[in-house]
Amino acid sequence: MGALNSAVRIRHDLHYRLTEARKRTDDLFKIVREEAMYDRPIAERHRIIFYVGHVESFDWNLLAQRAFGLQSFNESFDKLFAFGIDPVGGGLPIDQPSDWPKREEIDAYNARLRDELDQAVARTLANPSEGHPLLLSMIEVAIEHRLMHAETLAYMLHQLPAGRKVRAPKEPVWKTARAKSHLVDIPAGTATLGLKHGDNAEFGWDNEFEGAEAFVPGFAIDTYNVMNRDFLQFMQAGGYQNRGLWSDEAWKWKNEDGISHPTFWRREGNLWMYRTMFGDIQLPLDWPVYVSHAEATAYAKWLGRKLPSEEQFHRAAYGTSEDGVERDYPWGNEAPNEKYGNFDFQHWDPSPVGAYPRGASAFGVHDIVGNGWEWTRTVFEPFPGFEPMSFYPGYSANFFDGKHYVMKGGSPRTAACMLRRSFRNWFQPHYPYVYATFRCVED
Ligand SMILES: [Fe+2]
């Protein structure tokens, strides 16, 4: 009976988490002024209104028929809101605001959809012997898919002019001592990547399996992220004009798109300004620099260094001086909370590097989870033993094209559940809007 009760409780928690995740996306859309709902802040992406329908229709398309046998009540909306855009080399979308349904129609679709799903979820979760064998994983997928959009939508809304947004409460004034970064030695040792099937009931996306140990030779890594201050020096030294620092593809992209500074920066007279979520401020020199993979790679090369590999990231973040002993999180095994880093929607923007000393890893590497995803030099590929999820086969497999790089860690807008050690994020190297920073290694 005890086991049955706890199974029901876990299932009930899942429904609660789905409801909480919905609040995240609801809150996010509330920062968009009504007149800006049909804007397209990033040329390569859909208009904002698409995502209002998408985060709901995704759940419906995933669960309704497959898990609960529910019939569609609006097939055209199910299709219209089904897919986002991954802008690799394609043309720009040309749809007009008038091509999209009215907000009221979408709100009505969303409300009915949530209501029908909630009833089915509650009914099915109350009885552990009922439902699709993969039901729990499917609901986890719905939750994390939505939370990922809560983050990537923040990147998109970041590019929406401040006047088109409802300003959030004031951001904190940080009183962080100026950090001095240096290289710290990480001794050779093993790192556990990914999750293993069968060990426990932990949820992971398909690309997190099959987990395995990797031996990582010794190397040295920056104790702090590269800051805006550091990146300014790279720019002043002519980094963007130095052909030798860029791959052929990156050089072409940089020139064609006229890239000469990080996307979050803007020149105003003699000053560099920084675009925060709700307005421009003078460039905060001690914030981690947010740049594309191509820019991060050029900077590392300028110093004769590299970006870390995915395995090196794991060693620096989770390894300890006792080989074979790894932590769940850089700071230890305690679940993520506000003592340990800038993540889980606490802030809209970065904090100064080193603002969370208690979150440092066993080797004294700061902010390695939180305050910005960290670029690695590892191309996103499947782990040996990878199998796509039957109910979402393209989630990872569509991106194993050699054109995406692994990011690890997490940003201010990454949900706590996705700060797990095995979670892998990925982006293409020239997409400049991501909350991604980096640090360098010598190996
Ligand atoms: Fe999506």
**What number of CA atoms fall less than 13 Å from residue 431's CA on the CB side?**
24
Report d(CA 330, CA 420) in Å as an integer. Answer: 10
Compute the distance from residue 122 Cα to the ligand 1 centre, in Å: 24
Compute the distance from residue 356 Cα to the ligand 1 centre, in Å: 32
Q: What is the pLDDT of residue 127?
A: 78
Compute the distance from residue 49 Cα to the ligand 1 centre, in Å: 13
Containing 405, the helix (H) or strand (E) segment is: strand 405-408
pLDDT of the chain, 443 residues: tens digit per residue? 355 556 666 677 899 999 999 999 999 999 999 999 999 999 989 999 999 999 999 999 999 999 999 999 999 999 999 987 655 556 788 899 999 999 999 999 999 999 999 999 998 888 767 778 889 899 999 999 999 999 999 999 999 999 999 987 777 889 999 999 999 999 999 999 999 987 666 899 999 999 999 999 999 999 999 999 999 999 999 999 999 999 999 999 999 999 999 999 999 999 999 999 999 999 999 999 999 999 999 999 999 999 999 999 999 999 999 988 999 999 999 999 999 999 999 999 999 999 999 999 999 999 999 999 999 999 999 999 999 999 999 999 999 999 999 999 999 999 999 999 999 999 999 999 999 999 999 99
Compute the distance from residue 51 Cα to the ligand 1 centre, in Å: 8
Compute the distance from residue 344 Cα to the ligand 1 centre, in Å: 19
* Cα–Cα distance list, 38 to 35, 49, 52 (Å): 7, 5, 10
Containing 162, the helix (H) or strand (E) segment is: none
Compute the distance from residue 313 Cα to the ligand 1 centre, in Å: 27
Compute the distance from residue 149 Cα to the ligand 1 centre, in Å: 7
Q: Are strands 405-408 and 265-268 parallel, antiparallel or unpaired?
A: unpaired
Compute the distance from residue 76 Cα to the ligand 1 centre, in Å: 17
Compute the distance from residue 54 Cα to the ligand 1 centre, in Å: 7
Alpha helices in 257-292 (DSSP H): none
Compute the distance from residue 75 Cα to the ligand 1 centre, in Å: 18
Compute the distance from residue 426 Cα to the ligand 1 centre, in Å: 14
* Token couple for 423: 């979670």
CB atoms under 10 Å from CB of 181, counted, come to: 17
Compute the distance from residue 17 Cα to the ligand 1 centre, in Å: 18
Compute the distance from residue 152 Cα to the ligand 1 centre, in Å: 10
Compute the distance from residue 96 Cα to the ligand 1 centre, in Å: 21
Q: Helix/strand/coil (H, E, C) string of 215-242? A: EECCEEEECCCCEHHHHHHHHHCCHHHC
C-beta of residue 177 within 8 angstroms of C-beta of residue 164:
no
Compute the distance from residue 148 Cα to the ligand 1 centre, in Å: 8
Compute the distance from residue 337 Cα to the ligand 1 centre, in Å: 27
**Torsion-angle region of 198 (φ positive above 0: left; ψ -120 to 50: alpha; else: beta):** left
* Cα–Cα distance list, 50 to 30, 37, 42, 106, 117 (Å): 15, 9, 13, 9, 20
Q: What is the pLDDT of residue 82?
A: 92
Compute the distance from residue 396 Cα to the ligand 1 centre, in Å: 12
C-beta of residue 62 within 8 angstroms of C-beta of residue 141:
yes
Q: Which residues contact 168 (CB under 8 A, 6 or more apart)?
A: 31, 277, 278, 348
Ramachandran angles phi, psi of 106, nearest 5°: -70, -40
Compute the distance from residue 166 Cα to the ligand 1 centre, in Å: 24
Compute the distance from residue 375 Cα to the ligand 1 centre, in Å: 22
C-beta of residue 387 within 8 angstroms of C-beta of residue 159:
no
Q: What is the pLDDT of residue 1?
A: 39
Compute the distance from residue 57 Cα to the ligand 1 centre, in Å: 9
Compute the distance from residue 127 Cα to the ligand 1 centre, in Å: 29
Compute the distance from residue 142 Cα to the ligand 1 centre, in Å: 10
CB atoms under 10 Å from CB of 4, counted, come to: 11
Largest CA distance in the chain: 71
For the whole model, what pTM was predicted? 0.95
